[in-house]
Amino acid sequence: MLLKVENINVAYGHAQVLHGVSLEIDRGEMVFVVGRNGAGKTTLMRTIAGFMTPTQGAITLDSEPVNGTPPEKMAQKGVRYVFQDKRVFAKLTVRENIQLAAYPTGEPLSEAIDKVVGIYPKITRFMDKPAGGLSGGQRQLLLLGRALVGSPRLLLIDEPTEGLAAGIIEEVFKVLDRIKGTVSMVIVEQNLPVVCRLADRVYAMKEGGIPAHLTTAAEIQDQALLEQYL
């Protein structure tokens, strides 16, 4: 198992937000987490990425305990977190944004650029323009490409299609479909058609717990079943 989250509790100060959450990801799997606003999805992602430490339970990456490992160390271990806010370095060019991702991994810039262009060829024409001028969808595709730099072990992607127009959602979908199987991914997503078409497994979150885990194609493609959790 690549990632094992076992029975974790997580709190902001005295407010406990995750209650006994468990989840597993195998190599190459694409697993989705669905649930209403406030269910605790982002907190779960932040915890796996090292921004929060569980007060109870264990997290292991390739059998190595990583509870309390800070985010920069988790990044060095190959865990990449694509935040919900789609934030890029707005004043830097697209090329410089990719360079900043490549530098700590030691991957040559040309290879890093090839990776981003490989998943989103249209980015080429914006390479020397400020990233702040990109649309929300283009920024998301840049961030997904950047997350692939340095051969990550695990991508954590928080609401990749949120706030995007239908056309660009389809582009994000195609990119996720293309990288499926090449890297392990945990994706928080509320767009159920996207979830139904892509997921290997689905965890449904509610009130800081995971009341349902859908594993068969029949369950995953049953949108009405997933809708109960939104």
Ligand X SMILES: Nc1ncnc2c1ncn2[C@@H]1O[C@H](COP(=O)(O)OP(=O)(O)OP(=O)(O)O)[C@@H](O)[C@H]1O
**Binding test (CB under 6 A) with ligand X, winner from 14, 15, 64, 125:** 15
C-alpha to C-alpha distance for 85 and 33, rounded to whole angstroms? 17
Stretch that binds ligand X, among 11-19, 21-29, 85-93, 173-181 (CB under 6 A): 11-19
Please give the helix or strand (H or E) that residue 169 lies within, else none: helix 166-179
What are the residues whose beta carbons fall under 8 Å from the beta carbon of 101, sequence distance 6 or more? 112, 146, 147, 149, 150
- Does 224 engage in binding with ligand X (CB under 6 A)? no
- Does 14 engage in binding with ligand X (CB under 6 A)? no
- Does 161 engage in binding with ligand X (CB under 6 A)? no
**Binding test (CB under 6 A) with ligand X, winner from 5, 32, 42, 194:** 42
Q: Measuring CA to CA, how many Å separate 199 from each of 68, 71, 186, 215, 228?
A: 29, 26, 10, 9, 17
Total residues interacting with ligand X, rule: CB under 6 A:
11
Stretch that binds ligand X, among 30-38, 73-81, 99-107, 212-220 (CB under 6 A): 30-38
Please give the helix or strand (H or E) that residue 115 lies within, else none: helix 109-119
Write out the two tokens for 27: 């190599």
**Smallest gap from residue 107 Cβ to ligand X (A):** 30
C-alpha to C-alpha distance for 118 and 141, rounded to whole angstroms? 11
- Does 40 engage in binding with ligand X (CB under 6 A)? yes
- Does 39 engage in binding with ligand X (CB under 6 A)? yes
Q: How many CA atoms does the CB half-sphere of 74 hold within 13 Å?
A: 26
- Does 54 engage in binding with ligand X (CB under 6 A)? no
Residue bearing tokens 């360079």: 99
**Smallest gap from residue 92 Cβ to ligand X (A):** 27
Residue closer to ligand X by CB (options 111, 207) is 207
- Does 41 engage in binding with ligand X (CB under 6 A)? yes
- Does 35 engage in binding with ligand X (CB under 6 A)? yes
**Binding test (CB under 6 A) with ligand X, winner from 5, 43, 69, 150:** 43
C-alpha to C-alpha distance for 184 and 170, rounded to whole angstroms? 21
Q: Nearest 5 degrees, angle CA 125-CA 147-CA 189?
A: 100
Stretch that binds ligand X, among 34-42, 72-80, 107-115, 148-156 (CB under 6 A): 34-42
Question: Which residues lie near ligand X (CB under 6 A)?
Answer: 12, 15, 17, 35, 37-43
